[in-house]
Amino acid sequence: MTGRRGNVDTMDKRLAGRLAAFLLLAGLVPAGPALAMKASVEGIEGEPADNVETYLQSLEADQYAPQRLEAEVRRLVGDALKVYGYYEPTLRITFDDPDTPEEVTIHVDPGEPVRIERLDFGLAGEAADDAPFKDAIDAYPQQEGEVLHHAPFDALRSKLSGLALERGYFDWRFTQRRMEIRPWAHSARLSLALDSGPRYRFGPVRFHGQHIETDRLEALEPFHEGKPYLARDVATFNQRLGQTEWFGSVSVRPLLNAGVGDLALPPARLGFYHQLDVTGLPPSPPPAPRLSAKALEAAQALQAPAVPEVPIEVNVTPADRHRFEIGLGVATDVGPRMRLSWDQPWVNRYGHSLDQDLYLSGAEQEFSGVYDMPLENPLRDSYRLQYGLRNEDNEDTKSLEASVEFGRRWQFDNAWEQIIYLRTTYEDFTQADLDNQVLLLYPGVRWTRTRSRNPTFPRWGDRQQIGVQYSSEAWGSDAEFLRLNADSQWIRSLGDDYRFVGRVGAGSIVTDDFEDIPPSLRFFTGGDTSVRGYGYETLSPENSDGKLVGGKQRLVGSVEAQRRITGAWWLASFVDAGDAFTDWWPRQLNTSAGLGVRWISPVGPIRFDVAHPFDSDDAYRIHFAIGPEF
């Protein structure tokens, strides 16, 4: 009975083993994790040792028999050392367990390295006179006599082939590409020669799917027909078309395979007249012979163009003609606020656009619109018509303003934007105990520049704005004044955890008709983006009754330091100072200091500040806002 029971147990174990193997192969039982072998390298250090460990990281010891495992280790170590010029190393390999090894120790005697005996790099074709190719060869980091490293040779080969495609040498080929290693002589001869062939030029641009006038799109091309091809120009053209916001999708690509054969007519198919045998009717004449695509290509080859061209194909689809957005927010300056926007990125075939906004808050309500008319360069030059209706009821200010502005806009290479405009404003206002209605007509000029990296929460950026306005009774304006206003803000970072924000602003209005200057042109300070610790626009000169009248001058400044606490949370400390006043220079600026928290939320940065005003009876004031600094 015992012997029979033992046979049964053996059969059960075999059956179980076969069943387990079948389930494993069928994927019904998960396989255990394969553990990579741990390797320790002795005798060498630095990059060769690190490379040996990298090569052995993927080695799974349980996949090899002991003898096969040692051979595999030797192969991998040899391959890892060859790229650093060691072709005849002596290896001593020790496993922690001969049967089931988990760790291996490799003692390496690298031996005499292979050194570069000869470098032979050459250029043929038009690339021989193209500076980037010569610079790539001149920058080769190794010299004859040095220990051979494979990586620089591979990098040079990739660099030259990349340059060829990037710069329009589409017929390029390597006439020599050889790394001749002679381990017995400890020497290597490297040969690399590129024949670029001719450089292609830009050919005609073909547009498909456009709803905007073609000449408007052609004005965005950073190249012209016949200019040497450059892939960067194609990418720039693609980017510029996208920046217009006229299109839902943009694809700009070179037609590298477009040849004269594409012009050939397809083989003629017999019509039904030729397919039917109509009794009693004379047979139809045979179809006229046609040139095939191969025939056209052969004919072109007999007289190939001296300078090859590559046509550019542009495929676009129109953007949605109407875009609607709604934004909700809250800030301590104005309380809850809402913005509704209706944007039309294109309203006609000339690329004109119309943006309209409705802004609602407790202190201010405004409807505004901008009609933009692109000129020769749609991204940089345009006429701009702006209009708006604004109502304000804040502190001692009540104002109803209607305005229309027509201007000319320029965008310069240095990122500055200039707008010269003529503006007319009608404003019915009450400021303190003064009631007035004025009609103003005045020209102005405004310069702005905004630069930032990651606009949501920039670690580096700055913004400048300068404006000059002049009004005169000579052309019917109710007040005569010269108004200047300037603001600048900077963001800089130190490492990954420190961020600094600074801003300064100043303004002045020169006039003898201050009573006819509406609140929209007077200066007020205080609030979330001005001098924290004080109420929104509560800092200005006061009349004898203590009511705000607004100032002729403005000066504000702020310094803020931020430190990352963890992840998306930052701690901020700041000092603000500023005031609006009548006589330049103020005797004393209102100052505050405080602490704050910044959270980079999915909807944008959220700022929470507690500020203590040094020139007010209030102990502190809380400021809360959503959105980036710019």
Q: Name the E strands within 263-363.
A: 309-318, 323-331, 335-344, 353-361
User: Does 53 lie in the same domain as 186?
Assistant: no
- pLDDT mean over 491-510: 96
Does the residue 31 lie in any domain? no
The number of domains in the chain is: 3
Q: Please, which residues have CB within 8 angstroms of residue 148's CB and are 6 or more apart in sequence?
A: 85, 113, 114, 115, 116, 142, 181, 188
- The gap from C-alpha 90 to its chain's centroid, in whole angstroms, comes to 51
User: Does 50 lie in the same domain as 140?
Assistant: no
Q: Is the pLDDT of residue 533 over 80?
A: yes
pLDDT tier for residue 296 given thresholds of 50, 70 and 90: low
End position of a domain, from candidates 60, 89, 109: 109
- pLDDT mean over 162-191: 95
405: part of which helix (H) or strand (E)?
strand 397-411
Q: Is the pLDDT of residue 599 over 60?
A: yes
- pLDDT mean over 538-563: 95
pLDDT tier for residue 102 given thresholds of 50, 70 and 90: confident
Torsion of Cα atoms, 229 then 232 then 237 then 243, to 10°: 180
Residue 215, judged by CB atoms within 10 A of its CB (0-12, 13-18, 19+), counts as: exposed
- Least Cα distance to 590 among 612, 614, 574 occurs for 614
**pLDDT at position 294:** 63
Contact between 89 and 111 under an 8 Å Cβ cutoff? The reply is yes
- Which region among 109-123, 289-303, 440-454 has the lowest average model confidence (pLDDT)? 289-303
User: Does 587 lie in the same domain as 493?
Assistant: yes
Residue 312 CB-half CA count within 13 A: 28
Is the Cα dihedral 544, 549, 552, 553 positive or negative?
positive
User: Does 182 lie in the same domain as 44?
Assistant: no
pLDDT tens digits, one per residue of 16-45: 444 444 444 444 444 444 456 788 999 999
- pLDDT mean over 98-112: 89
Does the residue 253 lie in any domain? no
**pLDDT at position 250:** 96
**Residue/partner pairs of 568-574 with CB below 8 Å, 24 or more apart:** 568/599, 568/600, 568/601, 569/597, 569/598, 569/599, 569/600, 570/499, 570/597, 570/598, 570/599, 570/600, 571/595, 571/596, 571/597, 571/598, 572/596, 572/597, 572/598, 572/607, 572/609, 574/532, 574/609, 574/611
Higher-pLDDT residue of 493 and 37 is: 493
CA separation for the pair 277, 361 (Å, rounded):
84
**pLDDT at position 603:** 81
pLDDT tens digits, one per residue of 425-470: 999 999 999 999 999 999 999 999 999 988 888 999 999 999 999 9
Q: Which residues of 157-192 are buried (b: 16+ CB within 10 A; e: fewer)?
A: eebbeebbeebbbbebeeeeeeeebeeeebebebbb
Contact between 408 and 389 under an 8 Å Cβ cutoff? The reply is no
User: Does 543 lie in the same domain as 484?
Assistant: yes
- pLDDT mean over 350-376: 95
Neighbours of 154 (CB within 10 A): 12
Q: Does a cis peptide bond (omega within 30 degrees of 0) precede residue 172?
A: no
User: Does 132 lie in the same domain as 50?
Assistant: no
User: Does 595 lie in the same domain as 471?
Assistant: yes
Higher-pLDDT residue of 476 and 15 is: 476
User: Does 600 lie in the same domain as 454?
Assistant: yes
pLDDT tens digits, one per residue of 251-290: 999 998 755 444 444 554 544 433 444 455 555 555 555 5
Does the residue 238 lie in any domain? no
Q: Is the pLDDT of residue 341 over 80?
A: yes
- Least Cα distance to 317 among 246, 378, 239 occurs for 246
User: Does 547 lie in the same domain as 416?
Assistant: yes
Contact between 424 and 403 under an 8 Å Cβ cutoff? The reply is yes
CA distances from 579 to 214, 468, 481, 507 (A): 53, 20, 21, 11
Q: 615: which 2 tokens?
A: 């020139």
pLDDT tens digits, one per residue of 319-328: 999 999 998 8
Domain that holds residue 157: 115-195
Q: Put the strands of the sheet holding 38-42 in their side by side order.
A: 38-42, 103-109, 90-95
pLDDT tens digits, one per residue of 190-217: 999 999 999 999 999 999 999 999 999 9
User: Does 556 lie in the same domain as 420?
Assistant: yes
pLDDT tier for residue 298 given thresholds of 50, 70 and 90: low
Q: Please, which residues have CB within 8 angstroms of residue 552's CB and are 6 or more apart in sequence?
A: 508, 509, 510, 511, 514, 522, 523, 581, 582, 584
User: Does 63 lie in the same domain as 180?
Assistant: no
Q: Which residue carries 């490799």 as its tokens?
A: 106
Does the residue 388 lie in any domain? no
**pLDDT at position 269:** 52
User: Does 445 lie in the same domain as 584?
Assistant: yes
What mean pLDDT value characterizes the chain? 88
DSSP 628: -
Does the residue 120 lie in any domain? yes
CATH number at residue 54: 3.10.20.310
Neighbours of 540 (CB within 10 A): 27
